């Protein structure tokens, strides 16, 4: 017998073969510093995602610096949402309001916001339902890693977040593996990234959430994901976006590297290409390991019976 071509995805921050090919690969060198140790520098090398067993799995390879800089996933998974982010939602200690005015590519309307950060201790993750930008105290959940420490950690998201009220029906899962020392480099922002090196990175930030908790997108539809990397106050963005930007430096708050106190000056329509990637929603189901074993035994038993009948 041969092993099945798929296997369950383990949410541990490490790329599983079942993800398949990357859906986005970094195009620019990082303006937030090359990762030369496992606590400095920040980069988003590639984006992977898969829908299985009624859950969305996402892996962003690269590194998150241990200084409370943040990795962000904005998820567009249902009708409505925000093409231009509102400053009304007040979570993350009010820092969410600094996103007000940021404009995504035409066709991208954010519904949910996932963000992670750390300072060398437990890695922390929040998910927030932005409710079309109308909520003040939004539905949201928080989790700090409970397994591992340092550069390899994992945990679940199910507690109340800062400025939010719990809304998840089942825990979300996350994994963080910050051991990458390869991928894109820092330096001259006028130089394109080595996309082959970026695609070779296999560790980073991984997240999984039930489809029922992101609007229950229908089979055959598409989930859009915008990944970004910025500072802890949500008022200065790097150039590490997936899908990738044209060759340029950090976005800052005005889209050209300037600090303005908010991200209101960033408009992704001003940059060529799509600064998000698309994830098909399928009805694929991975059997539990015990079911796979039972099926294999049944096949072996059938082969044995066939031989005896000869």
Which pLDDT does position 291 carry in this prediction?
46
Which pLDDT does position 96 carry in this prediction?
98
In this predicted model, what pLDDT tens digit does every residue of 144-169 receive, in sequence order?
Answer: 999 999 999 999 999 999 999 999 99
Alpha-carbon span 155 to 48, nearest angstrom: 20
Which pLDDT does position 10 carry in this prediction?
97
In this predicted model, what pLDDT tens digit does every residue of 52-109 receive, in sequence order?
Answer: 999 999 999 999 999 999 999 999 999 999 999 999 999 999 999 999 999 999 999 9
Alpha-carbon span 57 to 59, nearest angstrom: 7
Sign of the four-CA dihedral 81, 275, 270, 28: positive
Rg (CA), the chain: 20
Closest CA to 252 of 237, 230, 268, 232: 237
**CB contact set of 307 (below 8 Å; sequence gap of 6+):** none
3-state DSSP assignment of residue 181 = coil
Which pLDDT does position 191 carry in this prediction?
83
Quote the pTM value: 0.92
Which pLDDT does position 1 carry in this prediction?
38
Point out which residues pair with 174 in neighbouring strands: 155, 207
In residues, how long is the chain? 310
* Positions of the chain with pLDDT under 70: 1-6, 287-310
Closest CA to 34 of 251, 201, 254, 268: 201
Point out which residues pair with 207 in neighbouring strands: 58, 174
Question: From residue 109, how far is each of 84, 127, 133, 276 by CA, in Å?
Answer: 8, 16, 11, 11
Which pLDDT does position 298 carry in this prediction?
47
Sign of the four-CA dihedral 146, 152, 158, 164: positive
**DSSP 3-state percent helix, strand, coil across the chain (nearest 5):** 15, 35, 50
């Amino acid at each position: 017998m041969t092993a099945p071509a798929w296997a369950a995805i383990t949410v541990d921050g490490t790329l599983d073969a079942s993800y398949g090919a990357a859906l986005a690969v970094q195009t620019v060198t990082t303006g937030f510093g090359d990762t030369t140790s496992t606590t400095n520098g920040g980069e988003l090398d590639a984006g992977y995602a898969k829908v299985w067993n009624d859950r969305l799995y996402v892996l962003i390879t690269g590194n998150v610096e241990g200084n409370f800089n943040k990795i962000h996933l904005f998820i567009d998974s249902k009708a409505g949402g925000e093409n231009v982010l509102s400053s009304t939602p007040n979570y993350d200690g009010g820092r969410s309001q600094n996103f007000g005015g940021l404009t995504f590519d035409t066709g991208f309307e954010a519904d949910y916001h996932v963000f992670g950060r750390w300072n060398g201790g437990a890695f922390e993750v929040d998910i927030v339902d932005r409710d079309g930008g109308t909520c003040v105290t939004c539905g949201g959940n928080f989790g700090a890693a409970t397994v591992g420490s340092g550069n390899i950690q994992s945990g679940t998201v199910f507690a109340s977040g800062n400025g939010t009220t719990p809304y998840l029906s089942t825990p979300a899962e996350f994994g963080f593996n910050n051991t990458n020392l390869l991928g894109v480099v820092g330096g001259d922002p006028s130089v394109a990234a080595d996309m082959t090196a970026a695609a070779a990175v296999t560790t980073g930030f991984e997240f999984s959430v039930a489809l029922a908790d992101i609007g229950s997108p229908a089979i055959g539809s598409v989930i859009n994901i915008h990944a970004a990397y910025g500072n802890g106050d949500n008022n200065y963005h790097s150039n590490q976006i997936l899908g990738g930007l044209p060759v340029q430096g950090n976005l800052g708050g005005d889209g050209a590297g300037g600090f303005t106190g908010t991200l209101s000056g960033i408009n992704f329509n001003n940059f060529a290409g799509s600064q998000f990637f698309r994830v098909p929603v399928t009805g694929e189901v991975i059997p539990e390991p015990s079911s796979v074993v039972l099926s294999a035994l049944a096949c072996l038993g059938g082969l044995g019976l066939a031989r005896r009948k000869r």
